[in-house]
Amino acid sequence: MFLIGLLYVVFVGVLLAILRDSWFLVLVIAGGLFIVQFWFSDRIAAYSMGAREVTPEQAPELHGAVDRICALADMPKPRVAIADSDVPNAFATGRSEKTALVCATTGLLRRLEPEELEGVIAHEMSHVAHRDVVVMTIASFLGVLAGLMVRVWLYSGLSRGGRDVNTAVAVLVVPLVSAAVYVISFLLTRLLSRYRELSADRAAALLTGRPSALASALTKVTGQMARIPTRDLRKAEPFNAFWFAPAFSSKESLGRLLSSHPTLEQRLDQLGKISLQLGRP
C-alpha cells in the first residue's frame, strides 16, 4: 500500500511537470480521487474481504454481541456481516454510524468465548463511534496533499528563478521532494493508526468493564495466527489497517515503525493498567 501511494505521488508530480500551467487541474484530480476514496473505500474494503451481511437468525451470537454493545454505548445498530475465513479477526468500516458495518470472520466466531467476542465487537464499535475510517482517510489524503503543495511551492520558486532553470532537473527533483514528504506523512499516519487502536482498546475495556476479556481475545487471536496457513495470512495482510489484530506483526524496530497496530505487549500493558483502575482482575 505504501508503494502504491508513493507511485501515486510521483505520478501527480509528473503531471505537474507536464502541466505546469494547469496545477489547478491537478488539484481537482487529486480532490476527485479523495472523494472517491472517502465515499467508497469502506465498500471496497468490505467487498475485498468477502464480507456478507447476515440476519439475527443466521448469526444469533454475533448479533447478540452487537446488540449488547449498542445498548451499552447508546448507538444505532450497524450492519452485521461475516467473512468466510479461518483467519481469526474482525473489522469495522463506514463513514458514520448510519453507514457502519461490523464484520467478524468465521475463524474468530469459532475460537472466542462470548465475553471475548463482546470485547472485540466493542473495540470495533469504538472505531465506528470515533469515526476512525473518516479520520484515517483524511489523514492519508493530507499526506498526499502535503506533497502536492510542496511541489506547487517548489514550481513557483523555480518559475521565479528565471528562464535558465533546467526543466529536466525540475522534473527530476520535484517528484523526489514530494516522495520524501510522502514518506514522512506515511510514518505519521501509521503513528496515528497505532494511537487509534490503543484508543479503541481503552474505549472497549471501559465500556464492557472487562479488560481481561479483551486481553484474552487479543492473546488468543495473536497466538492463533501462527497456526493459519501462510497463504491465507498473505491474503489478509493488505487489510491489516482494518483488522482487529494484524495478520503479520514484526518484532523488529523498523517493522514496528511501519506497523498499523501497536505491539501485543503494548496493548496488554494498557489493558492491565485499566484493570487496576477498575479494580478487576
Q: What is the pLDDT of residues 228-239, one digit of tens each?
A: 877 777 777 767
CA distance 150 to 208: 46
Among the ranges given (137-146, 199-208, 213-222, 262-271), the one the predictor scored with the smallest mean pLDDT? 137-146
DSSP secondary structure letter of residue 84: -
Q: What is the pLDDT of residues 158-187, one digit of tens each?
A: 555 555 555 666 666 666 767 777 777 788
- pTM for this one? 0.79
Residue 201 is predicted with a pLDDT of 96
CA distance 130 to 123: 11
Asked if 116 is an active-site residue, the reply is: no
Residue 24 vs residue 78, higher pLDDT? 78
Q: Of 1-5, 132-136, 160-164, which has the strongest mean pLDDT?
A: 132-136
Query: 75: number of CA atoms within 13 Å, CB side?
Result: 27
Residue 190 is predicted with a pLDDT of 86
3-state secondary structure of 52: strand
- Residue pair 47/81 in contact (Cβ under 8 Å)? The answer is no
Residue 31 has pLDDT above 80, yes or no: no
Annotated binding site for Zn(2+): 123, 127, 197
pLDDT band for position 81 (cuts 50, 70, 90): very high
Amino acid at 93: T
Residue 103 has pLDDT above 80, yes or no: yes
pLDDT band for position 17 (cuts 50, 70, 90): low
- Joined grid coordinates for residue 197: 487502536
Q: At how many degrees (to 10) do helices 60-73 and 114-129 cross?
A: 50
Residue 165 is predicted with a pLDDT of 52
Mean pLDDT on 238-255: 70
Average pLDDT, the chain: 81
List of long-range contacts for 275-278, beta carbons under 8 Å, 24+ apart: 275/205, 275/211, 275/212, 275/215, 278/206, 278/209, 278/211
Length of the chain in residues, anyone? 281
Catalytic residue among 61, 124, 237, 265: 124
Annotated binding site: 123, 127, 197
Q: Of 16-20, 28-32, 174-178, 210-214, which has the strongest mean pLDDT?
A: 210-214
Residue 220 is predicted with a pLDDT of 92
- Residue pair 144/136 in contact (Cβ under 8 Å)? The answer is no
Residue 160 vs residue 262, higher pLDDT? 262
Residue 205 is predicted with a pLDDT of 95
